[in-house]
Amino acid sequence: MTSHDTSHRAHDLRSQLASLTTEAFRPELADIDRLPTLDIARLMNGEDAGVAGAVAAQLPRIAAAVDAVAERMARGGRLVYAGAGTAGRLGVLDASECPPTFNTDPARVVGLIAGGPEAMVTSVEGAEDSRELARKDLDALALAPGDSVVGVSASGRTPYALGAVEHARSLGALTIGLACNEHSALAAAAEHGIEVVVGPELIAGSTRLKAGTAQKMVLNMLSTITMIRLGKTYGNLMVDVRASNDKLRARSHRIVALATGAGDEEIERALTECGGEVKNAILVLLAHVDGPTAARLLTESDGHLRAALAQTR
């Protein structure tokens, strides 16, 4: 690339950024660094208060995306997040929280960040600008048509996120584009476009603020509601938790108690019989079956506790 090409590309990029709501400069905040700390905190808190409303405006789109993801995951597909910088880190965070929260196989929900694991804590030069890197990362996962890919980018123009969505769509996978600007290239490239417009940031150029909060809220919805649809909860109880430490063992006991109303000794016996599996223990207590029968019923019901209970009535 010649110096002229580089200069032209830089000019185009500056023009693109200048047109983005998330990158807008707010003159009324130009003296924010002179304000008392409490006043800055109040300003920041006031900005954050509007994020939930911006997410609410996209709920129909979010719900449609969740239903599409859940349908594929029920058939064995995976959920893959792909982003750069803060967006990538949020995807990795959401993916990493699914195994301990919902007892999912770590390979079922995956977070890809431009530049790899190193980019979680440091900037990897040029990684976010590479569509090809996104293609390679998805190919390394052997992405299939039954999988779902969520490209995440505050600007909605990040080449890594765009490349991931474009490549996933070419392979027949479900695609979702999550951005924080209207009319984004990312939303346009995906089957399901979600644009949470939170407006200019308190600090110009720092899209880890309102935009980051909005992305975290939407990712929470995508993974959590998908897991509800997959039978990972019973009502609003997290019944697929696995008791791997003292806190989780205490939580498991409490969840079984809330679901069944059984006494402590009954609960402990059921959990022991079921190897600590909360969902199985609840079925043992509510349906009055033994551990192996509970396991069989849950297998036949694809892990849905309500459906397993219905088989015993």
Left (φ > 0), alpha (ψ -120 to 50) or beta: where does 261 sit?
A: left
Question: Does residue 265 have an active-site annotation?
Answer: no
Compute CA distances 228 → 18, 233, 236, 291, 311, whole Å: 40, 5, 9, 23, 20
DSSP 179: E
Long-range contacts of residues 251-258, Cβ cutoff 8 Å, at least 24 apart: 252/276, 252/278, 252/281, 255/282, 256/281, 256/282, 256/285
Helix (H, G, I), strand (E, B) or coil at 81: strand
Q: Which of 139, 127, 223, 129 is nearest to 173 (CA)?
A: 139
Left (φ > 0), alpha (ψ -120 to 50) or beta: where does 276 sit?
A: left
DSSP conformation letters of 40-62: HHHHHHHHHTTHHHHHHTTHHHH
- Provide the edge-to-edge strand list for the sheet that holds 192-195: 109-113, 79-83, 148-152, 174-179, 192-195
Compute CA distances 187 → 13, 153, 155, whole Å: 19, 10, 11
Pick the catalytic residue from 23, 28, 47, 97.
Answer: 97
Distance (Å, whole) CA 311 – CA 296: 11
Pick the catalytic residue from 128, 195, 201, 277.
Answer: 128
Question: What does the block give as tokens for 217?
Answer: 């809220």
Question: Does residue 97 have an active-site annotation?
Answer: yes
Active centre residues (catalytic): 97, 128
